[in-house]
Structure 1
Amino acid sequence: MSSSRFTARRRCLAAAGVAAALALTSAACGSSGDSSSMPGMDHGATSSASSSPSAPQAMGDMPGMDHTDTGNGLSDTKDGYRLTSKDATLPSGKQAAYRFMVTGPDGKPVTDFALDQTKRMHFYAIRSDLTGFQHIHPTLAADGTWSAGLASLTPGSWRMFASFTPAAGAGRGKDFVLSRTLNVPGNDTRTPLPAPAASTQVDGYTVTVKGEPMAGMDHPLTVSIARGGKPATDLQPYLDTYAHLTAFHEGDATFAHLHPTTKVTGDQGGPELNFHAELPMSGNWRLFLQFRTGGTLHTAALTLHVG
């Protein structure tokens, strides 16, 4: 990713630090096409874009919208761009599609999106206590409607994030993260967030995070991956890097995408991966690291404390 993209994202995250709040919880991920051992997590691998802008009226205001434009990913509007959806609830215990649309400052559906780590849209579903996490690459219809195929959702409150970069219009080249809330009916059982830890295990791999970031400051993070006590060097390219790292803040689910600085140099990488991190506020953050080996997608989750 270019330095200008890093700068744009840094500014976005720095703005997030001025407006934030409260306290949250843990992890899980599966896949449509990719597999993961963490129940409830889904990382779809489909991304398509149709560009004929013959769009109907955008999906209207429904329960679940968040109009406060704070720049921390917790609003459905920013700089005239808006995330809309008619889906305020989805059923629990089964796969379901979440449909949404992005409209521009002119009120029309946006259909022209730039590639970001090989995809035109990164979509995240995160449960309010952070025990559910899904990262999907939805499909785009000609009318501007995106469809994200979600794996089974557990009852409770969820927040749906859309991360994108318009390829035209007033927001051309600018990174946006917009979100809306959604309710899954049923018995909402909350799980405490696991305590901060330097390492975790997933599918036989040990993932260790090194670094002590401070709120609102640029700081490198190093992730090392081992298997059976030996460095893992069989990481396959994934989203134009060897691992994808996302973080959510305990309490309000503020979003942060930690950008990889390790370049892809071949069909296999590891064991160490470097990331640029600027987490906008102090407290606990739940990190989700996704990496692929042998064609299988693994998702590791751990809690990182930021001073």
Structure 2
Amino acid sequence: MFTFTSSSLRRRALAAAGTAAVLAATLAACGSNDDSMPAMDHHAHPSAASSAGSTPGMDHDSMAGMDHGSTGDGLAEAKDGYALTSTTAELPTGKDTTYAFRITGPDGKPVTSFAVDQTKRMHFYAIRSDLTGFQHLHPTMAPDGTWTADLTAMTPGTWRTYASFTPDTGAAKGEGFILSHTVTVPGTAADTPLPAPTATTEADGYTVTVKGTRMAGMGHPMTVTISKDGKPVTDLQPYLDTYAHLTAFHEGDQAFAHLHPETKVNGDHGGPDLAFQAMLPKPGNWRLFLQFQTGGRLHTAALTLDFG
């Protein structure tokens, strides 16, 4: 049996309070993660559904860092017992099509419970090996766990499809995953050379400029500025609970990364500057696709950045 004096109890209480304060500070420094919506091609078209997932006038903290807390570079088909499975090895050339897939768990059965991440339960991406043809979709799931993504016409070549998700049950509940699978589109493939690195690009009359230090494997502040006709853009609308959605693919191996702006969302008044904490794991050229919304229309700006 242990006996404590009043002074020893006070010392223990103070020590416990100090430990709690340190833990709270550590958790605050680590930040939080976010992502996910219905079947729709968000790579170049307007989307009424995209704006429906956000609430104008409300103040949200958008997320920073890599793909919603997921680990790895997205090049594996399976991780920690979870796998991206599909019976489709070939997709038609030059016409819209659907791609069906499942996520299976450690027990080999289809996963049917997913957490909502950035307003969606599944984010799906497709890109060709030369980093052209980017598509960002939000598939729909059938009761048996089969997801269906509506892909727009694809050109001949090898394509990689990515599924970004967070299980809502099981041992990996709350853990983000990014898994991928390759498919072939038949025909004569003509690779497009990767555009040279540049800090500025154009999309739908908007000018996107990127500033900041870029170094692989280390996080550095990065600012994206959006303007139109030489004037700052200040009417960005929330898209997936943020003012921009930035996806990056590594030249050569198509490694995947995902960044969120740190800028707070406050109605349809985003811009012109969006702050990111850029941390890309591998040196070399990365092809970045920045998606942002104005007037109910989604825009996609692409540019190449070199991370030394």
Shift in Å, 1:167: 1.0
Task: Give the match's secondary structure for 1:196.
Answer: coil
RMSD: 2.2
SS at structure 2 position matched to 1:285: strand
**1:101–1:71: structure 2 CA closer, same or farther, 3 Å change rule?**
same
| 1:211 and 2:219 matched | no
Task: Give how far 1:71 is off.
Answer: 2.7
1:219 and 1:44, CA in 2 relative to 1: closer, same or farther beyond 3 A? farther
Separation (CA, whole Å) in 2 of partners of 1:118 and 1:291: 15
Q: Which residue of 2 aligns with 1:98?
A: 99
Contact 1:34–1:44 (8 Å) recurs in 2: no
Measure the CA separation in 2 of the matches of 1:109 and 1:215. Answer: 36
Matches within 5 A, 1:242-261: 242-261=243-262
Q: Answer yes or no: is 1:75 the counterpart of 2:83.
A: no
Q: Contact 1:225 / 1:271 at 8 angstroms: preserved in 2? A: yes
Tell me which residue corresponds to 1:36: 44
Quick one: distance in 1 between partners of 2:96 and 2:204? 23
Equivalent residue for 1:15?
none
Alignment length (residue pairs): 257
Deviation at 1:84, TM superposition (A): 0.0
Given the alignment of the two structures, is residue 111 of structure 1 paired with residue 109 of structure 2, yes or no?
Answer: no
Gaps of 5+ in 1: 10-30, 47-69
Counterpart residue number, 1:233: 234
Instruction: Kindly report which structure 2 residues correspond to 1:138-177, keeping only aligned pairs within 5 A, or say none.
Output: 138-177=139-178
SS in 2 for 1:260: coil
Which amino acid in 2 is paired with 1:277?
A
Closer/same/farther in 2, CA of residues 160 and 304 from structure 1, 3 Å limit:
same
Match of 2:195 in 1: 194
Name the counterpart of 2:87. Answer: 86
Q: Which has the higher helix share?
A: 2
Corresponding letter in the other structure for 1:195: A
The separation in 1 between residues aligned to 2:234 and 2:121, in whole angstroms, is 29
1:124-143 alignment runs, 5 A limit: 124-143=125-144
Asked if the contact 2:251/2:286 (under 8 Å) is kept, the reply is: yes
Q: Is the 8 A contact 1:44 1:138 kept in 2?
A: no
Any conservation in 2 of the 1:290–1:299 contact (CA below 8 Å)? Answer: yes
Compute the TM-score of the two structures, normalised by the length of structure 2: 0.79
After TM superposition, where is structure 1 displaced by more than 2 Å over at least 4 residues in a row?
Answer: 2-6, 31-37, 42-46
Secondary structure at 2:285's aligned position in 1?
Answer: strand
Deviation (angstroms), 1:300: 0.2
Q: Deviations over 1:71-102 (max 9, x none)?
A: 32101000110000011100011110000000
Aligned residue for 1:53? none
Q: Give aligned-pair identity as a percent.
A: 66
For residues 226 and 126 of structure 1, the distance between their equivalents in structure 2, rounded to whole angstroms, comes to: 27
TM-score normalized by structure 1?
0.79
Instruction: Kindly state the Cα deviation for residue 34 of structure 1 after the two structures are TM-superposed.
Output: 5.6
What secondary structure, in the 3-state scheme, does the structure 2 residue paired with 1:162 have?
strand
Q: Give me the whole-angstrom Cα distance separating, in 1, the residues matched to 2:41 and 2:91.
A: 22
Q: Which has the larger radius of gyration?
A: 2
